[in-house]
Amino acid sequence: MNLFHHKTKTIGRRMFVAKVCGLLIGIVGYLFAPAFLGVYISPYLQWGILLWGLTFGTIIGLMGVFTECPFWKHCPIYRWNALRPILRGGFVGAWLEFMLAILLYDSITELALYLNWGTFFEANILVLAAVEGFLIGAIIDSLSTKIGGDGKKIL
């Protein structure tokens, strides 16, 4: 079974690591959502959080095939191989969370009003979602790259 051999770096291994990381984040969100949202939580929202974590990890894992980006190729920071997973996963994660926050903007701001989270959260929900996505995406992509590899060599 070459998937878990310590010297083999494949797309299957990378995807497995990314999906497990995303699923763990989804499980944490599923379990802790009732503590933060109280009576406003529904089972559909809890399952949505769990499945979004799995989808998030899957997309970040698939993006590991791309090591060259036309937008970043002239940036000196992107030439450092150690920072590529952080930037790649971070920006993909920020984009995914930003798009999710745009789609759910009305629901999130209404929930923030009910829970009295304050005006800072309500005014900056899109930025906060993007920052959260950047951090989680960078962590998932860094782990996936370290364990499963990236680029053409994993295909």
Task: Write the DSSP assignment of 19-34 as a string of letters.
Answer: HHHHHHHHHHHHHHHH
Match 């497995």 to its residue by tokens. Answer: 16
How confident is the model at residue 109, as a pLDDT? Answer: 79
Q: What angle do CA 31, 19, 129 make, to 5 degrees?
A: 60
pTM of the model: 0.84
The pLDDT, as a whole number, for residue 56 is 93
Number of domains in the chain: 1
Query: For residue 48, what are its two tokens?
Result: 């949505």
Taking the chain (155 residues) in consecutive chunks of 10 residues, what is each chunk's mean pLDDT? 63 90 94 82 88 93 80 70 85 93 84 74 83 94 88 70
pLDDT at site 123: 73
Is residue 73 classed exposed, middle or buried when 0-12, 13-18 and 19+ CB atoms within 10 A define those classes?
A: exposed
132, 97 contact by CB (below 8 A): yes
Q: Can you tell me which residue has the tokens 């599923």?
A: 30
At 75, phi and psi to the nearest 5?
Answer: -85, 125
Q: Which of 53, 66, 65 is nearest to 19 (CA)?
A: 53
Could you list the residue range(s) of the whole structural domain that residue 42 is in?
2-154
Cα end-to-end distance, the chain, whole Å = 17
Instruction: Determine contact, residues 150/63, Cβ cutoff 8 Å.
Output: no
Structure confidence at residue 2 (pLDDT): 57
Which tokens hold the place of 150?
A: 């990236």
pLDDT at position 7, please?
64
